[in-house]
Amino acid sequence: MPITGFYAALFALMLIWLSFQVINQRRKNRVPVGDGGVQDLMRAQGAHTNFCQYVPFALLLMACAEAGDAWALAIHGLGAGMVVGRLCHAKGLLGEQKTFTMRITGMQLTFAVLGLGAALNLYLAALRLLAT
């Protein structure tokens, strides 16, 4: 599954970057465990946690679609949408100007990818069931 593998690699790099955001905030604020009530650390943890909650399921949907012979363009659309969504969400939480607009856009793209990925997999499953 080369397409899903490509996006999995991008997401791994993004996860490393988000992890370092948490580590940097912990060091800067001398908080070894928890959030210490530090807003910037809470934001970094939130971006990291949110990423970890949504990305694996999107990758699973992409992998299933790719294994089900979905169109390459559709899989790239899901992957690109998720990358942009996760970047927007992170920028909304971690950027210089923390904005709800970017965070909301990121979540909207994330939900769109999950919904479209689910619909694509249901469509592919229905095609296979009708063919038998």
The predicted-structure confidence for 76-92, as pLDDT tens digits, reads as follows 999 999 999 999 999 99
Cβ atoms within 10 Å, residue 118: 14
Q: Whole-prediction pTM value?
A: 0.93
The whole-angstrom separation of Cα 90 and Cα 19 is 12
pLDDT at 42: 94
The whole-angstrom separation of Cα 119 and Cα 111 is 12
pLDDT at 22: 97
pLDDT at 24: 96
26-41: b or e for each residue (b if 16 or more CB lie within 10 Å)? beeeeeeeebeebebb
